[in-house]
């Protein structure tokens, strides 16, 4: 079984080995176990059900909430020779019926659907009529009301599965899930004793940075200018901010786009396509953008505002570096972001428990923006990982060479003030008391009479508040929940006051801009990729990822065997693009006088198509059963091959594929309901007469 998996991995996907965690998940599924896998964005979740789909007989149904991602996934699979399709609201009813018709005869190995499709009686009938071997539920956190993207339609998935005559293997995938959400996934999807796999949340190729106090517009404009050839996303909290930054970039003649819910469907589609096809390098967007994007070469994600929780942030930031190449994730923090997110909570959430839960998650995000400890460690611990190194050496905190300053005395003053204010006030008022402010509210409460009033005059109120926030982030103080949280003490606060623990803090430096390290050959190959992309109307990253192009530019393959060693190159892509890219590589070597062995170009023999091989065997008087065994195909695929040959005008004895008694029954029904009502024809026939038999009959009659 392992050999089959690896053969599929190499032949179709062009990889020699699985990534961390993939093989265990695939083994679990192929052993017919329900499975739940929590894997970070970019870890290759989709491959964990695509490989089993090819190894199992029958059809795999993938439930995904993302219509645009369905198309990307299907395009990518068909590009590498795996027949796939999708069913969603972008199709007409006739197109849907036709695709389901073909899927029943296993013309497709994978079929992608939105969860709302489970409301369709036609689709539920399809699930019972077809040979469904596996149901894969992507973005499974959507089933939980505690997840960051709850969708009521996901709660109907388990009922639809329970109503099937034969229950297939069921697996659930998500990138971000706390233990609470994971338990909901198992319970609400009614997984049966599932094997659980958490491959770790770390994305080692990503550099995380938090920058405070910057002029965000200037920072973004400078960053885009310094990385003009790189691809990036800038996220904002509001449409107004998105439009403002977009206009700034356009005024500077950068290739930028914009995406938010206020645009028309046509405008959003155009912007998303421009980004996918590399017509623009940077897109400024609200968090409505990106869920349906599988673009692998995003080199940076900048958050102009703090997101509402860590799950949202890690998912959005994780859209950088999906190809494994080094990429930047930068969060530009401004204190007003806190009020913006609190406003959203108050306006959109009315359940008290839910509101408290969201405030708690928001506080984790606020603490992330202020912590003086490793950012990666903070993220990984949030998602439940343990025994993490204190320093990752790849975040703005760990990369800051500034020595930590001992601020124990200052921390004691602040904690003492919290104590004397009886833990009944927020950080702003505490900072004003310490600074000695004449604020009327402060005076009305009589807080100017406290011994801590005015004892920290060397700092501004804003600077004191920043230090309080860092003390909270590093767990020297805590906040109560709610829209107006109060600063409170804990055990560490007492230890600091008593002198049992010292407090150190450092000032974060600006993030280092990423530089364009791509070589000349990489740029040449990227231009070729763009030409192919335009000609074939597919996004460039579906042709080859940046990671594949970089390997080509380094190793400069000259033969088909060498080209197949490049990461991401399988048999299908070798046949489609190998010669084109090797010609560019050889041209580059010649122009640069790079020594190489003489290349003997051989005329590539035209590959005989699979369905014609089947016809040749059939014409040798071999039965469908014998051909299926000889070619390691299912019998339905052999029949489809023969039918395809007939459609293409080749001589095929269709009478052997359609028993006389079936033909008579089909003819009777067709005379009653007509030729075009495929679904109605099938419903009026016995179960043993398949859609395939109907297609053969209609072809014979219509020619």
* pLDDT (tens digit per residue) in 625-675: 888 777 766 676 777 788 777 776 777 877 788 888 888 888 888 888 776
Q: How far apart are CA 23 and CA 702, in angstroms?
A: 48
Tell me, letter by letter, the H, E, C secondary structure of 43-97. Answer: CCCCHHHHHHHHHCCCEEEEECCCHHHHHHHHHHHHHCCCCEEEECCCCCHHHHH
pLDDT greater than 90 at residue 696: no
Which strand (E) or helix (H) includes residue 504? strand 504-505
* pTM of structure: 0.61
Query: Nearest-5° angle of CA 203, CA 206, CA 208?
Result: 110
3-class state of residue 172 by DSSP: strand
276 or 85, greater pLDDT:
85
- Band (293; pLDDT cuts 50, 70, 90): low
Task: Go through the chain and tell me how many residues it has.
Answer: 703
With 0-12 / 13-18 / 19 or more C-beta atoms within 10 angstroms meaning exposed / middle / buried, residue 270 is middle
- Band (27; pLDDT cuts 50, 70, 90): very high
For the chain, the average pLDDT equals: 84
Domains, the chain: 2-198 (3.40.50.300), 206-382 (3.40.50.300), 406-505 (1.10.10.10), 520-591 (1.10.150.80), 610-702 (no CATH)
Asked whether 476 and 483 are in contact (CB, 8 A), the reply is no
- 53-70 tens-digit pLDDT: 999 989 999 998 877 678
pLDDT at 661: 86
- Band (432; pLDDT cuts 50, 70, 90): very high
DSSP type of residue 11: I
- 532-556 tens-digit pLDDT: 988 888 888 888 888 888 888 888 8
Site of tokens 């040798």: 620
- 217-252 tens-digit pLDDT: 888 999 998 888 899 999 998 899 999 999 999 998
3-class state of residue 392 by DSSP: coil
Residue 648: which residues within 8 A CB-CB, separation 6 or more? none
DSSP type of residue 108: -
* Least confident residue range of 127-131, 190-194, 292-296, 590-594: 292-296
- Band (45; pLDDT cuts 50, 70, 90): confident
pLDDT at 703: 57
pLDDT greater than 50 at residue 391: yes
Q: How far apart are CA 273 and CA 271, in angstroms?
A: 5
pLDDT at 433: 94
Distance, CA of 603 to chain centre: 41
Residue 69 phi/psi, 5-degree rounding, is: -70, -35
644 or 85, greater pLDDT:
85
Q: How far apart are CA 483 and CA 490, in angstroms?
A: 21
Name the most confidently modeled range: 314-328, 496-510, 673-687: 314-328
- 343-369 tens-digit pLDDT: 888 888 888 888 888 898 999 999 999
* Least confident residue range of 162-171, 404-413, 678-687: 678-687
pLDDT at 702: 60
Asked whether 139 and 69 are in contact (CB, 8 A), the reply is no
Q: Pairing state of beta strands 504-505 and 405-406?
A: antiparallel
Which strand (E) or helix (H) includes residue 256? strand 256-259
pLDDT greater than 80 at residue 145: no
Asked whether 680 and 94 are in contact (CB, 8 A), the reply is no
pLDDT greater than 80 at residue 566: yes
pLDDT at 189: 92
- Band (256; pLDDT cuts 50, 70, 90): very high
Q: How far apart are CA 629 and CA 624, in angstroms?
A: 9
Joined together, the tokens standing for residue 303 give 């958050």
DSSP type of residue 300: E
Q: Pairing state of beta strands 132-137 and 110-113?
A: unpaired
- 172-216 tens-digit pLDDT: 998 877 778 888 899 999 999 999 988 778 888 899 999 876 778
- Band (528; pLDDT cuts 50, 70, 90): very high
pLDDT at 616: 83
3-class state of residue 624 by DSSP: helix
Site of tokens 């089959």: 4
- Band (679; pLDDT cuts 50, 70, 90): low
CA distances from 176 to 142, 292, 364 (A): 11, 16, 15
pLDDT greater than 50 at residue 507: no
Burial 647-684 (b: 16+ CB within 10 A, else e): eeeeebeeeebbeeebbebbeebbeeeeeeebbebbeb
DSSP type of residue 447: G
pLDDT at 403: 66
Q: What does the pLDDT average to over 31-57?
A: 89
């Amino acid at each position: 079984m392992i050999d089959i998996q690896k053969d599929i991995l190499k032949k179709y996907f062009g990889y020699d080995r699985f990534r961390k965690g993939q093989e265990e998940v695939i083994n679990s599924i192929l052993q017919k176990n329900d499975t739940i896998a929590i894997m970070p964005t970019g870890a290759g979740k989709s491959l964990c059900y695509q490989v089993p789909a090819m190894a199992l007989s029958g059809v795999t149904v993938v439930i995904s909430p993302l219509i645009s991602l369905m198309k990307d996934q299907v395009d990518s699979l068909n590009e590498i020779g795996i027949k796939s399709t999708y069913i969603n609201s972008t199709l007409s009813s006739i197109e849907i019926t036709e695709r389901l018709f073909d899927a029943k005869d296993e013309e497709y190995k994978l079929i992608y659907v939105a969860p709302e499709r489970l409301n369709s009686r036609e689709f539920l009938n399809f699930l019972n009529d077809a040979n469904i071997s596996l149901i894969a539920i992507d973005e499974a956190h959507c089933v939980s009301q505690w997840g960051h993207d709850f969708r009521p339609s996901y709660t109907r998935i388990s009922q639809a599965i329970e109503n099937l005559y034969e229950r297939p293997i069921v697996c659930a995938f998500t990138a971000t899930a706390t233990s609470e959400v994971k338990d909901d996934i198992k319970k609400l999807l009614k997984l049966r004793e599932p094997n659980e796999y958490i491959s770790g949340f770390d994305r080692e190729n990503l550099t995380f940075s938090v920058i405070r106090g910057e002029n965000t517009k200037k920072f973004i404009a400078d960053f885009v200018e310094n990385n003009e050839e790189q691809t990036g996303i800038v996220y904002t909290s509001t449409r107004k901010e998105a439009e403002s930054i977009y206009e700034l970039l356009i005024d500077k003649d950068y290739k930028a786009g914009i995406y938010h819910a206020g645009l028309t469907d046509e405008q959003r589609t155009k912007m998303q396509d421009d980004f996918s096809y590399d017509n623009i390098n940077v897109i400024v967007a609200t968090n409505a953008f990106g869920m349906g994007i599988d673009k692998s070469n995003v080199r940076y994600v900048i958050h102009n505002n703090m997101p509402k929780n860590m799950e949202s942030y890690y998912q959005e930031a994780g859209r950088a570096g999906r190809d494994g190449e080094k990429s930047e994730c930068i969060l530009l923090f401004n204190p007003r972001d806190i009020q913006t997110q609190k406003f959203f909570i108050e306006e959109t959430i009315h359940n008290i428990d839910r509101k408290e839960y969201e405030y708690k998650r928001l506080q984790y995000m606020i603490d992330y923006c202020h912590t003086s400890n490793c950012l990666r460690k903070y993220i990984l611990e949030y998602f439940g990982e343990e025994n993490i190194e204190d320093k990752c050496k790849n975040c703005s905190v760990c990369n800051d060479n500034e020595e930590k300053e001992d601020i124990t005395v200052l921390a004691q003053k602040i904690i003492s003030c919290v104590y004397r204010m009886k833990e009944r006030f927020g950080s702003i008022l505490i900072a004003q008391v310490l600074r000695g402010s004449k604020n009327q509210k402060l005076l009305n409460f009589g807080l100017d009479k406290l011994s801590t009033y005015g004892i920290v005059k060397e700092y501004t109120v804003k600077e004191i508040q920043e230090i309080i926030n860092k003390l909270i982030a590093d767990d020297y103080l805590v906040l109560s929940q709610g829209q107006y949280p109060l600063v409170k003490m804990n055990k560490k606060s007492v230890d600091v006051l008593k002198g049992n623990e010292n407090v150190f803090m450092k000032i974060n430096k600006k993030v280092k801009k990423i530089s364009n390290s791509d070589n000349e050959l990489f740029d040449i190959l990227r231009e070729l990729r763009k030409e192919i992309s335009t000609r074939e109307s597919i996004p460039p990253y579906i042709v080859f990822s940046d990671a594949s192009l970089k390997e080509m530019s380094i190793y400069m393959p000259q033969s088909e065997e060498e080209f197949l060693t490049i990461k991401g190159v399988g048999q299908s892509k070798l046949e489609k693009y190998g010669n084109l890219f090797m010609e560019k590589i050889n041209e580059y070597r010649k122009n640069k006088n790079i020594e190489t062995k003489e290349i003997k170009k051989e005329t590539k023999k035209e590959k005989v198509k699979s369905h014609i091989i089947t016809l040749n065997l059939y014409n040798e008087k071999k039965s469908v059963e014998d051909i299926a065994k000889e070619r390691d195909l299912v019998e339905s695929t052999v029949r489809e091959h023969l039918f395809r040959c007939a459609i293409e005008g080749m001589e095929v004895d269709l009478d052997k594929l359609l028993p006389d008694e079936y033909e008579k029954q089909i003819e009777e029904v067709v005379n009653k309901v007509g030729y075009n009502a495929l679904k109605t024809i099938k419903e009026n026939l016995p179960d043993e007469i398949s859609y395939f038999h109907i297609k053969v009959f209609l072809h014979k009659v219509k020619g």
